[in-house]
Structures are given as C-alpha cells and as structure tokens.
Amino acid sequence: MSDAVLGGLEAFRIRFAGRPVLVFLGTLAVLLLARRAFTRRSLSRNWPAAAEMASSVAALVSLLAYPSIAIWYASDPHFFDNAEPVIPIVGWLFHTGSRVYHAVDAPERYAHIYGPYAFMAHGWFLGLVGPSIRASKALGAAVGLGSVAITYLVARRHARQSLAMVLTGLFALLLLQFRHYSFWTRPEPLQLVAVSSSLLLATMKTGSVAAVLSGAAMGVLWNLKITGPLYTLPVLALLQRHGGWRHSALAIAAAVAVAAFPFAYYANVSWFDYLVWLRLSGSTGLLLSTLRQNVEWALYLCLPLVISYYAVPRSLRPATSTWRNTLAALALGVTGIVIAASKPGAGPYHLLPFLPIIIYIVAWHLADLSPRTIVDVNAARACVAFVGTAVLIATAQEGQILATMKQRGALREAEDIVQFADSHPGVVAMGYGSTEALSLERPVLAFRYNSYLLDQPAIREYQLQGLGLPGATIRAIAECRVSYWLIPKGEAPFSGRNSYAAVLLQPLYPDEFRHAFEQAHSMVGTTRYYDVWQCHGASNR
C-alpha cells in the first residue's frame, strides 16, 4: 500500500472512525444518489441483489483478511499498543510466583484492573512454551481465530452453511473495525472466545452438562473484567428458556466457582488487592465524549439486528418469548457497558464481546431467508450501507496497524537489549523517556529477570486516580533494585507526561522521583537504541 493511500486512510480514520452512524448515513446517502443517477428503473429490483453481493464479497474478503492480519501481527515481535506488554509480563510473574495485584503502597507499579484470568492465561501458556513476545502474541491470535470459528458454529444453530459463512465473515469484518483488539494480548480475545463458547454451549440440547460448561465459560468472562456479567445476560436468558431456572442456576453456580477459583486457589492472586485497585479505578468518573462515542457504536453494532428483522417476511420472523427475552437482555447488557466503558481509557471496544451474540440473533432472524428474498428494499439499502461503512472503517483501522508495524518491524530492539543484558551483571530494566515506542520490548527483560518494577501505563492510570508514586518505589530506585536502566536514546529519563484529559501533560514522575534517580544513577554508555543508566546508589555519590 503506498504512503499516499495510507495517509488518506489515516486522515479518514482520525476524522470518522469514531463516528460509525455518521459514516453509515453518509454511505447510505451516497449509495442512493449514485443508484438514482444510473439505474433509476431497476432500483427496487436490484437493491436486494446488491445487498447479498456486498455482504458475500465483504464476508469472503474478511474471512481471508482476518486470519492473515492476525497471524502477521503475531509473527512480529513488536507490540502496537503501549498497554499490551504488561499482560504477558504479569502473566509470567504469576507463573514465577509473584503477585498479580501488588499492594497500593508496594514499590512495584504494575497492577491493572483486569481480572486474574487475563494474566493467568498468558502465564500458563508462556510457562508451557517458554516466555517470549511472539508466544504471548500467538496466544492472542489463536484465541481470536478460535472465537471466529466458534461464532460460525453459533450461527449454524439457526442458519444454513452458506449463510453462516457469510455471517462469520461479517463478524470478522466487524472485528477488524477495532484494529487488532480482537487478537492482541489484552483480555478482549479471551472475552470473545468465552462469550461465543458459552453461547454455543447454552444453545446445545444436551441438558445439564452443557449448562454447567456454559456457566464455566461465563465464569471466565466474569473474571476477565468486572463488567463480565453484563455480557452474559443474553446467554442466561437463552439458558433459562431452553432449560428452565434449574439450568440457569447450574450455570450461575459454575460461573461463580470458575470466577472465584484464582482468588481461592492461588496465594499470589489477592481478592482484597484486586478490589482496592477496582475501587480506585471507579473513582475517576467518566468522559462524556467517550460516552457519546459508545452510544453511537452501540447503535451501529446493533443495526444488523433491525436490518435482518425487516429483511424477511413477517411470517418468517421469530416472535417467541425466548427471542424477546434474549433481545431485552442484550439491550440491558449493552446499555450497562455503554455507561461503564465511558471511563477514561475505555471506549467502544468494550462492546466487542456482544458481537457473537448479535451474529447469533441475526442468524435467528435470517434462518428462513431464501436467496434473493429480502422483502424490504430499505433493509437491502441499509445492509449495503452497513457493509460499506464496516469496510471503510476496517480498512482505515488496519491501514494504521500496517503503517505503524511496518516502521516498528524494521527495528531490532530485542537483539540490542539481549546483547546488553548478556554482557552486564545485575538486573537490567526498561525505563521510559518522553516517548513510549522503544519501551514496548520490555517483556524481554521482565522474562529474563522475573521482575518488573515500573509499568508506565499503570502509573498513568494511578495518576488519574490521584495516586502518586509511593515512597517505597522511590526507595527502590535509590537503593539500586535495578542495576541498569535502558532509556530510549537521547531522551531524558522518566520525562513522560500524562495523556488523560483530567491530568493532561502533568509529569508522570514527580520531581522527588526524578531527583532520586539522578542522584543514584549516571549515564555510562549507549547501545544502538538506548542510553544506559547505571545505579551507583545514592549513598555512594
């Protein structure tokens, strides 16, 4: 892809990727004008065919593109997002026996509000195959791809094979609108696979065992994020209608057991500390601009439900109480997430786990749809505009990944870091300058020394919550807990500033911290990408 095309896509992404309803209405208007100009007479006859063609082609391309992009991303040992490295790092620390959630006044600064399974999954996997960035990214990609396969099986509950394939392709297309969030190292791929599995199991006809297994999958979901139960409301509605209250009770009991397991079983997973971090995070309020974006995304992602409902003749539409309850539960869950995901740092990607459920309901609506029988011309038009919007936004989002990873892929920081660590005794850790891209390879060092003191994304969150760096952290710096800090070349150590609106541009590290660092360290050399700061201890200077 040429730089000019990528530049154009980036301009579109910045301006419109957060406004899907606006893009949808714009696309619809353009389509109507274009069709009116060229084929006035055959307009009403051609729209259903155009809708089927657009959906099928977009689905086919997405079914090829999604795995290609996921595997390509996983094969590159660089991260795109600065919040990705902490997941495999804390996962590995969990594997080696360190705490997943440290105390508020501990010297370490890496605790996040994701549930333990988000980290434990990586810990178990890295323990099995050996710790590396590629392995952690491979887990994200494998789980993301798994969710696509399971969503196909979910769609097959109602739809014939070809329709289920198209719906699965559209599911992949919708995932691609959220850049790499469905196959990165953070909890979203695990959420997708958990929700699609619980849905698949809830719609099985094998009775109590399926209900318990569905509940177990829900338990994983509940544990991954505190908002987990909201995603499972439609699944619980389905379970209740399929197997009565007994099945629902069994599923809920299994979910509670699975969700509570890490806290009950592992000494290094503290329920108390998890709650402390959650409470602190809840104190930050919300962003109204993010709330509006969430509302718009929720409306856009639910559009297929309305379009597919009116695409079939009235006599073929579902009208059972199961269907109504599932929709009501979905509406309730989406509403809750729209509000909860308005916290600073959250956003519309929190709606991702609803996608398998939406695909399931769309398959339900279209179950008896024969080819070329879309009855409502408006539904066909809306379908074309919806698919067009998804293609535009997904292309722009993937363009950004492509452009960024192309640059990052040319760097060889990991080799540089390993070469330095091999030739120097003592603990080497990744520090931060004014930018973050060169610090994304920090898992390499955390895997090597089984320790991790400072996670800048966590520090950024804590500052938003009004939590400064504790004395224990400053002491750990001054007392040489880390022998060598690698700071991105040419940048002042720990000079980053906060990007959250409420604390915008405030220094992430207080003067006291920076003073302690300068007192205890001096720059002793450089590598290809980093300045090396060695700790001599404050008392030795």
Partner 1 sequence: MPRRVKSVTANHDSLRRALGRSWWVLFPCFLVLVLRLTVERTCSDPYDLLPALASNPVWGWPIAIVYVTSHAWLLGVYLLTAASVDSLVPSRVAFRSMWRADYMKVLLMAGAFLLEYLPVTIWRLVGTALHCAG
Which of 298, 440 has the CB closer to partner 1? Answer: 298
Q: CA–CA separation, 131 vs 88, rounded Å?
A: 8
Q: CA–CA separation, 16 vs 390, rounded Å?
A: 12
Residue 321 contacts partner 1 per CB under 8 A: no
Nearest approach, Cβ of residue 309 and partner 1 (Å): 8
Residue 378 contacts partner 1 per CB under 8 A: yes
The answer to whether residues 74 and 183 touch, using CB atoms and an 8 Å cutoff, is yes
Nearest approach, Cβ of residue 326 and partner 1 (Å): 16
Nearest approach, Cβ of residue 504 and partner 1 (Å): 8
Among 10, 376, 436, 518, binds partner 1 (CB under 8 A): 376
Which of 161, 289 has the CB closer to partner 1? Answer: 289
Q: Which two tokens stand for residue 121?
A: 């999954």
The answer to whether residues 519 and 541 touch, using CB atoms and an 8 Å cutoff, is yes
Residue 306 contacts partner 1 per CB under 8 A: yes
Among 7, 8, 97, 282, binds partner 1 (CB under 8 A): 282
Identify the helix (H) or strand (E) that includes residue 428: strand 428-430
Q: Which of residues 382-411 bind partner 1 (CB under 8 A)?
A: 382
Secondary structure (3-state) at 186: coil
Nearest approach, Cβ of residue 332 and partner 1 (Å): 10
The answer to whether residues 377 and 42 touch, using CB atoms and an 8 Å cutoff, is no
Residue 283 contacts partner 1 per CB under 8 A: yes
Q: Which of residues 470-529 bind partner 1 (CB under 8 A)?
A: 501-502
Nearest approach, Cβ of residue 342 and partner 1 (Å): 6
For residue 122, give the nearest of 95, 146, 100 by alpha carbon. 95
Which of the 8 DSSP states describes residue 484? E
Residue 342 contacts partner 1 per CB under 8 A: yes
Among 260, 331, 403, 418, binds partner 1 (CB under 8 A): 331
DSSP collapsed to 3 states, 2-70: CHHHHHHHHHHHHHHCCCHHHHHHHHHHHHHHHHHHHCCCCHHHHHHHHHHHHHHHHHHHHHHHHHHHH
Among 96, 284, 483, 526, binds partner 1 (CB under 8 A): 284
148: CB partners within 8 A, 6+ apart: 66, 67, 168, 171, 172, 175
Which of 368, 376 has the CB closer to partner 1? Answer: 376
Among 150, 307, 393, 417, binds partner 1 (CB under 8 A): 307
Diameter over CA atoms, the chain:
88
**Among 62-70, 102-110, 238-246, 299-307, the segment contacting partner 1 (CB under 8 A):** 299-307
Residue with tokens 């786990």: 353
Which of 42, 335 has the CB closer to partner 1? Answer: 335
C-alpha triplet 28, 30, 32: angle, nearest 5°:
70
Which of the 8 DSSP states describes residue 109? B
Which of 56, 465 has the CB closer to partner 1? Answer: 465
**Among 55-63, 121-129, 333-341, 347-355, the segment contacting partner 1 (CB under 8 A):** 333-341
Residue 292 contacts partner 1 per CB under 8 A: yes
Residue 170 contacts partner 1 per CB under 8 A: no
Among 75, 161, 208, 335, binds partner 1 (CB under 8 A): 335
Among 71, 339, 401, 403, binds partner 1 (CB under 8 A): 339
For residue 221, give the nearest of 350, 31, 368, 44 by alpha carbon. 350
Size of the site for partner 1 (CB under 8 A): 28
Residue 286 contacts partner 1 per CB under 8 A: yes
**Among 265-273, 289-297, 349-357, 512-520, the segment contacting partner 1 (CB under 8 A):** 289-297
CB-CB neighbours of 272 under 10 Å? 9
The answer to whether residues 373 and 317 touch, using CB atoms and an 8 Å cutoff, is no
Secondary structure (3-state) at 355: helix
Q: Which residues bind partner 1 (CB under 8 A)?
A: 282-289, 291-292, 295, 299, 306-307, 310, 314, 319, 331, 335, 338-339, 342, 376, 378-379, 382, 501-502
